[in-house]
Structures are given as C-alpha cells and as structure tokens.
Amino acid sequence: MCQSKKMKEGVRRAPAEEGREQAGGLVPGGAVTLLFLCAFLFSLMGMFLQYTGRFGIPSNEMVFLRAVFQGVLVVGCMVHCRIDCHVDTTSMNLDEEALALDDAREEKKLDECDHLLQKGYQATYGLADVETAADKRGRTTRIIFRPFGSNMTQAQIVMLRGFIGGLGFCNYYYTLSTLPLGDATTLLSLYPIVTIFLAYYVLNEAIKPAQLVAAVLSVLGGVLISRPSFLFGSDDASARPPLLGYFTAIIGSCCAAGVIVLIRKAGRSGANTLQLLFSWVVFGISWSLLLAFLTGSKPGQQWRVPSAREFPYVLGACLSGTLAHFILNYAAKLIPAGVSGLVRSSDIFWAYILEIAVLNEHPVAATWWGVALVSVALTILIHSTNREKEIHKDASQGNLTAAK
C-alpha cells in the first residue's frame, strides 16, 4: 500500500542534502577516464600539427579547416537532437538547482505507486494516456533552434566559452607550428595551476592541497620531459624561434584554463554539449578569418589548398581534434574544473610516448624523471578523487540511515 503525502515529506530532505554534496565536487570515474582519452587525442592532434607546420600550412588556416570539419558534424547532430525548451534556471544558484533537481527525482520515486494505481484505473475503465507522443514533442525543440542555450544565462556562458576557446586555439595552433615542441608543450601545459585558482574565484571550488601538489609535479614533470630550449639550451644555435610564439603560448595556456572553467559553469547552468561545440565553431571560424585578414600579407601566411601529401595530416588533425573536443566539452561539465585541468594536462605524457613510438626519439635520464613526476601527480589525483568518493558514499549512507 502506498504511503501518504505526509509520510513522504518527512524523508525528502536527505536526498536534497545529498544533492548539495554532489554539487560540491563529486568526481565520476567515467568522466575522468574520458578526459584521459581526450588528453591522448589532443596529443595526437599536436603531432599532426607539427607536420602541417613543417609543410608551411598557416596555423589560422588549420583552425578554420578544423572548425568547418567539426561544424558539419555538430550542426548535423543539432538538427537531429532535441532539448527541453521549458527549462529555466536563470534565477537558480547552484545549491538551489541541485536541491530542486533532487527533490524532483525523489518526488517521482515516491509517487510511483500513485502513478501505477492511476495507470491501472485507466486500463480498467479503457481510458487513454493523457500525454501523447505529440505532447512530449511539443515540450521539446531541436537544438539547432537554440544554438547558444535555452535562456540568457546559458547563452552568455556558452558564447564566452566559444569566444575564449576560439582565441585559445588560434594561439595554440600558432605556438605548436612555430616553437620547438619542447618549448610549446611546456608553456601550454601551465594551465592546470591557472585552472585551480580561476575555478576558486569563478566557481567557488575549494583549493585542495592534493590538487596543488599534483599540478606542480605535473608542470615540473612536463619541463623534464619536453626539455625546453629556454631552460636546457638548444643544439641548433642558429635556429631562434619567434618571440611571438612564446607570447601566444602563455595566452593559449590562460585561455585553456578559462575554457575548462566555463565548460564546468555551463554544465551547472544546464547547457548542452552540442551548444558548447557550436559556439566554438562559430568563434573559431571568426577568429581564424580575422587573423588571416590581418596577417595574410606576410610571407608564409597565405592560405592554400593542402596538397595530396599534406591532406592526410590535415585530416588527422581534424579527426583527432574534433573527437577530443567532443569528449572535453562533455566530460568537463561533470567534474570540478581543477580536476579536469589536471587530467587534461596528461597530454604531455602521451605526447612524448607518441614521439618515442612514431618519431623514434630516444629519452634521456631527465625524461624518465619527468615521466615519474607526471605519474606521481596522476596517482595523487586519482587517490584524492577516490577518497572523495568514499567520503561521499559514507555521508550518503549516513543521510539515508538518519532518514529511516
């Protein structure tokens, strides 16, 4: 027999409190695994970009080609997929949103008996279901009609994510195509530390000692792995990379931190992954065309159609980069930004593995020390997230016991 409404109200607070804990930073293991895969794919894209840079393909053209490639896939998915067009979270903060969501879920579970009784009544007296498939379609709309979000709050976050992401990728591509790989990788891998502090100010995420230690070890390990010429010197004294490349590397690292924080913020507001991807496509194309207009007259910056020899590397960069982007914009919504930045920074580890496997690089002793530091950093991060899961699980069980 179903419980009464008064009895239901007495046990509803425990799940709501659990929702507050989830909003505070529970780390789903599946999202972390996806971000490790994302880091590998981004390092694979970086290897392809090294080749396109050697072929003389302008970095702005590569941004444009990848944005168009990704845009075709994203728009196709947006035409097919639907979202709820009646969700409005503009007046909710994070705690209120999590509380309301868990209340709704609990109410649905507690009313299951009443729903079954109603269905039995309808079956007995030959009544049709009140809500039809047409009614359900009426509550939703295709994502292509809401490309930047379902409300003003989502639109602002999604568009800012696209603006910073497009600018960041232009800096990222230029850095990888002009600087030595070690210099570019080291400077572009500074963003985990920036992400931790930026997430503290923007998302109110706690700065945890374990994450700080992991971030510092990861950066130090990256320095030893990549052996940047500005610290370890260069065998080729005549080859001096452009100073602009170092500037764009710092800007790109800051943009990467901002993107991770904004993806997390967009996830909290209920934005769809396809909306985030579409925003990057729009601003990626815009930034690449603007920079091409400003720099197109300079030697080596003229756009051209890739040759048959260059095309496989261009396609490889587009495929690996697009898949990595899909994963990043999905998984980084689900976990704290500081954790996302640390896991994402493991691409420096994968990049060197690819260099050994594909380019036949021979590591020196310092490289192995760098690999060890990165491995220790990832171990600390994984141990910290597993400990948070256990604490959350124990707290949830305690809440359920108290509710009973």
pLDDT, tens digit, for every residue of 292-319?
888 766 776 788 899 999 999 999 999 9
Q: Look at residue 8 and tell me if it is in a domain.
A: no
| Structural domain contains residue 342 | yes
Average pLDDT, the chain: 75
| pLDDT of res. 25 | 44
Residue 76 CB neighbours (<10 A): 12
In a domain, 153, yes or no: yes
Structure tokens at 63: 């941004």
- Do 275 and 77 form a contact (C-beta atoms < 8 A)? no
What are the beta bridge partners of residue 141?
83
Confirm whether 10 is domain-assigned: no
pLDDT in tens, 255-281: 999 999 999 999 888 899 999 999 999
Q: What is the pLDDT of residue 158?
A: 94
Residue 83: strand pairing partners: 141
98/18 Cα distance (integer angstroms): 9
pLDDT in tens, 131-141: 444 445 557 88
Q: Is the dihedral of CA 323, 329, 334, 339 positive or negative?
A: positive
In a domain, 352, yes or no: yes
Nearest to 21 by CA among 99, 90, 106: 99
**Residue 118 to residue 404: CA distance in whole angstroms:** 27
In a domain, 106, yes or no: no
The parent domain of residue 377 ranges over: 33-86+139-403
295 in any annotated domain: yes
End-to-end CA distance of the chain: 18
The larger pLDDT score, comparing residue 374 to residue 128, is at 374
pTM score, whole prediction: 0.74
- Put residue 352 in one of left, alpha, beta given phi > 0 → left and psi -120 to 50 → alpha: alpha
Q: Using one digit for the tens of pLDDT, what is the confidence trace for 69-121?
A: 999 999 999 999 988 765 544 444 444 444 445 445 544 554 554 454 454 54
Angle at 334 between CA 287 and CA 380, to 5 degrees: 100
Average pLDDT over residues 237-266: 83
Position 28 in a domain: no
Instruction: State the pLDDT at residue 129.
Output: 45
Q: If you average pLDDT over residues 175-197, what whole number do you get?
A: 79
- The H or E element spanning position 165 is helix 152-178
Q: How far apart are CA 276 and CA 329, in angstroms?
A: 7
Q: Tens digit of pLDDT for each residue in 207-222? A: 888 888 888 888 888 7
Question: How many domains does the chain divide into?
Answer: 1
Q: Is 142 helix (H, G, I), strand (E, B) or coil?
A: strand
Token couple for 48: 């392809």
What is the structure's pLDDT at 209? 85
Q: What is the predicted pLDDT for the residue at 122? A: 47
